[in-house]
Structure 1
Amino acid sequence: MTQFVRSYLFLRRAIGVLGIALPIVVIAGKQLLEGGDLLGSLSSYYYSDLRNVFVGILCAIGVFLISYRGYGVLDDVAGNIAAVAAIGVALFPTTPASPTPGQHAIGIAHLVFATIFFLTLAFFCLFLFTKIDGAAPSRRKTSRNVVYRVCGIVMLASLVLIVVIGQFFADATAAWHPTLWLESLAVVAFGAAWLVKGETLLPDRPEPSELVQSSRA
């Protein structure tokens, strides 16, 4: 049983580490290897020298999500959907400059997969990770739920802002690369939530009453 728990904690931590690493590695790596200006979005790094890293991290996240099993059928279904979406984002690249009709269609598929990916991960944070069993939640569980909800809201807010800015303020904000930073923020929020779920951050610890009882034993 202990080995089983450790395996699941490892999966959660691995997903979290990969999520946080993705924007850091591809953005910093591109600047080190190629230099030049930042790209317009995280997905645009597919067309840089960091393509294999970008695809590899997303596919690894997808594999870990497929392997992940939660506490019920809904967790498993959500994990599988997020896994397929992550791999879809990796294998169907964003639309390049001056696209062919085929590349434009692939770019649309990329947007669909990316939207499903983030919405499913936000669902994990807001509804699945925050579940409480019959017992009263511990202080750490309450704190973790706050983190999960904040991460879920950050992901949803980032998606909304990407759409709004892209539709109404694209030209005015292009020099600031808002889509890149908002996508990166959403991915880091996703990674942070999974690190917390893997008990790398805010792990359970004995309540004060339990410590008192233990000292009296």
Structure 2
Amino acid sequence: MSPLRAWSDPLAEHIVGTYFALRAAMAIMAVGLPLLLVAWSLLDPDLPVLGSMSEYYYSPARDVFVGVLSGTGTALICYRGHGTLENGLLNAAGAFLVVVALVPTDPPGQSDFGLRMTVHAVAAVAFFVSFAVSVWRCADDTLDPSRDSERRIRRYRRAYRVVAVVVVVAPASALALVLVLRQGALAVLVVEAVAVMTFGVYWALKSYELRGTELAEQP
């Protein structure tokens, strides 16, 4: 029996609802950020579509960029992982994401890879790596062979592995493109968007998995 069931139903529902709301917020912010930035450029004739998400720090959309990344990073730190390892990795990922938000990349058209750019790039890579390791190592800890079917476990485990790979390969590809091109480009923006949106999709997927688990545990 879930420990929450030892408490009153309204309190348990409130705690579980808050927990799922935190996941939903991270999913919405992550999936929505690239779409919102591009939409801003399409609606503002004075703001072209920039070469990377980070370059929007120097645009009128700066507050949106910084606010969403800072909010998502804070949510990751507040979120309690399922176990010490996951909790520590997500705390680290959240802290790195706040650094990405607050330490800007070089302005559009400039790429001297000085200290500021280095800190931004390292923090971004560390964020994705920390998150990917947490997904690869810990995401399927909530799956239970005594309760979940083998097919369900295999399906979610495969999906989590795909998420972990994408959130490492996509930003690594974006960084490689920047190093080769020495500036942002549409390809960089697209690859970054894929990585960030995959992060958001993971939280929606995880919520769906746990909702199914919650229903399965009900008498």
Aligned match for 1:88, one of 69, 93, 99: 99
Matched, 1:47 2:47: no
Aligned residues: 205
Q: TM-score, normalised by structure 2?
A: 0.81
Matches for 1:1-217 after TM superposition, within 5 Å: 1=4, 2=12, 3-97=14-108, 104-131=114-141, 132-133=143-144, 135=146, 137-138=148-149, 139-168=151-180, 170=181, 177-199=186-208, 203-204=211-212
How far apart are the structure 2 equivalents of 1:152 and 1:118?
Answer: 9
Q: Structure 1 residues 34 and 70, CA, compared in 2 at 3 Å: closer, same or farther?
A: same
Q: Structure 1 residues 64 and 106, CA, compared in 2 at 3 Å: closer, same or farther?
A: same
What percentage of aligned pairs have identical amino acids? 31
- Structure 2 portions without partners, runs of 5+: 5-11
How far apart are the structure 2 equivalents of 1:95 and 1:176?
Answer: 14
Where has structure 1 moved over 4 Å in runs of 4 or more?
97-101
CA RMSD of aligned residues (A): 2.9
How far apart are the structure 2 equivalents of 1:99 and 1:39?
Answer: 13
How far apart are the structure 2 equivalents of 1:78 and 1:57?
Answer: 20
Q: Structure 1 residues 62 and 39, CA, compared in 2 at 3 Å: closer, same or farther?
A: same
Q: Deviations over 1:85-118 (max 9, x none)?
A: 11101100111257698x9321211111111111
- Structure 1 portions without partners, runs of 5+: none
Paired residue for 2:9?
Answer: none
Q: Structure 1 residues 64 and 7, CA, compared in 2 at 3 Å: closer, same or farther?
A: same
